[in-house]
Chain A
């Protein structure tokens, strides 16, 4: 299921996050890359170099927008100025879908600039879904919401994280950006089986997948995006694409960023699992399996 209505029926392959240390390399060498994911907020500016660089990238590459500040789960209403700026960027990039996180991070107009975990309640799911619908209708682009990694859970929660994610996306009728590294990190921090999570979400709504590295501390794991992807995360990725189909995949590497080629090589490791998933999905193989 490479293409669905949540990623605008695209088949984007393996992408990389567009990061400042790689600008010069990308613009000069024009390396092969299926697509770039940009952090929307980095380009929601009024002028100058960021937009100039983006326009040059857009001439050569496909770009998908990923946001970090929409805070679908915040009790605040969406900020109209923010939305207008975001829509202007959506028109510029022609992003086929737009993603942001299933989290909160601001209250009463004060921003933490963090991806804070949701209380997994029905009331929160309803409110969050309403906000996603509002944003999607305003921006006129499909939305995928990303599961975040978390280090705390609330007493007030009424369901598991994957039940909450499912409740939200069904109510909002939106897609999922499935971050398998975040599932792994949270599974260690909260002691659940990550495969229960993967099996429990609506696979037909997965529009994109994230993979990334993380850092282990003595008592918890932190989602740091500063390492290669670890084996348990690749295994989860393999399982995810078995379930959801081969889906647009992006490697996140945001800190201690190595050369473009090193990041690209790391992302290309996804191909090993994609080949296996494609084979498993081939009609012949499925027929044999059925027999």
Chain B
């Protein structure tokens, strides 16, 4: 499988680097070696993607010394690459790894990174396609693919809520004279709405509390990619749950909302007018209840101009 975004490296490393194209060719070769998944023993893959021994390919561009062969030296970089990226996804997804358990999580992350190497200058975005990958390749998470997908989406929303853009907040005065049939409100870019089949928020909170206890109780020095904690938090039971992941006063929050409230916010996010959005909540939403919701949402600063 060719990792997404990678261009084919040359068959052989250029012997001389006379041009920018030669430099690019050498860099494509080394990158292709680094993104090749490590073996079960965390060694560099024994074969180049075309079947030649990796040692033979490495010797084309890496100098050996009296202690390390070409492939040994390349392996130092390959391990650093994989450990760094695995650790990053590990930190981003405590709920997912707790739910899947060590072995499955590790296999999932390695498969994910093998298919989707980073396409961003910042590691902040490394887990952004994990939920998509879980849906595309359910074999890594079966029989819990739907739950794994829900948790991955929820955990990515936390990254967005942590440092996503905040637009100027609309105040009651901004809305005072606007007719509801024409008024459109946007939701803050850092906010994500969820209608989930599990109370993933409670689960992730429980996992994080467990991890905090574990780290405070342990002096173990971490080596290599970190060991994944054992499953100790019971997995969530099915229950329709509506959640908003957002931030307030720079802190991350998960706010449970009711189904009609979710419908209103979803309609607003889709660009519908205020009147249409309230209509979307259905008959069960009482006017005073809707007013109360809006008062809270305004106070939380969720609305901005479209």
Question: What is A's interface to B at a CB cutoff of 8 Å?
Answer: 41, 44-52, 69, 74-75, 79, 82, 104, 106-114, 116, 119, 121, 123-124, 127, 151-156, 189-191, 219-220, 222, 256
Contact = CB atoms under 8 A, between A and B. Distances in A.
B215 to A, nearest CB: 12
Given A109-B5, A123-B17, A219-B68, A49 B250 contact: yes
B83 to A, nearest CB: 10
A191 B63 CA distance: 13
Interface of B: 3, 5-7, 13-24, 26-28, 30-31, 34-35, 60-63, 65, 67-68, 70, 72-74, 76-77, 80-81, 84-85, 117-124, 161-166, 189-190, 221, 247, 250-251
Contacts of B165: 46-47
A138 to B, nearest CB: 15
Contacts of B30: 116
A188 to B, nearest CB: 10
24 contacts: A47-B164, A48-B164, A49-B162, A51-B163, A106-B121, A108-B6, A110-B119, A111-B119, A112-B35, A112-B81, A113-B81, A113-B118, A113-B123, A114-B81, A114-B84, A116-B30, A123-B18, A123-B20, A152-B73, A154-B62, A155-B60, A156-B16, A156-B26, A222-B76
A82 B125 CA distance: 13
Nearest to B123: A113
Contact of B63 (A107, A110, A113, A154): A154
Nearest to B3: A110
Contacts of A114: 34, 77, 80-81, 84
A210 B119 CA distance: 29
Contacts of A190: 65
Nearest to A226: B221
B84 A113 contact: yes
A45 B164 CA distance: 7
B73 A48 contact: no
Contacts of B117: 110-112
A54 to B, nearest CB: 11
A110 B5 contact: yes
Contact of B27 (A46, A69, A74): A74
Given A46-B189, A49-B163, A119-B23, A112 B76 contact: no
B19 A123 contact: yes
Contact of A50 (B27, B65, B163, B190): B163
Contacts of A154: 26, 61-63
A123 B84 contact: no
A154 B22 CA distance: 13
A226 to B, nearest CB: 10
B122 A44 contact: yes
Given A75-B27, A124-B17, A155 B5 contact: no
Contact of B76 (A44, A79, A152): A152
Nearest to A48: B163
B120 to A, nearest CB: 7
Contacts of A119: 17, 23, 26
Contact of A151 (B73, B85, B250): B73
Contacts of A79: 121
A152 B63 CA distance: 7
B141 to A, nearest CB: 25
Looking at B31, B34, B70, the one whose CB has the most chain A CB atoms below 10 A away is B31
A107 B61 contact: no
Given A50-B163, A114-B84, A124-B23, A155 B61 contact: yes
B76 A127 contact: no
A156 B85 CA distance: 29
A108 B5 contact: yes
A45 B298 CA distance: 25
Contacts of B123: 41, 113
Given A47-B166, A220-B67, A153 B62 contact: yes
Nearest to A104: B27
Given A153-B63, A219-B67, A82 B163 contact: no
B55 to A, nearest CB: 14
Nearest to A49: B250
5 closest A-B pairs by CB = A46-B165, A75-B24, A48-B163, A45-B163, A152-B73
A51 B163 CA distance: 8
B62 A155 contact: yes
A152 B77 contact: yes
Contacts of A116: 27, 30, 77
A176 to B, nearest CB: 22
Contacts of A220: 67-68, 76
Contact of B31 (A45, A110, A155): A110
Nearest to B7: A108
Nearest to A74: B27
B61 A69 contact: no
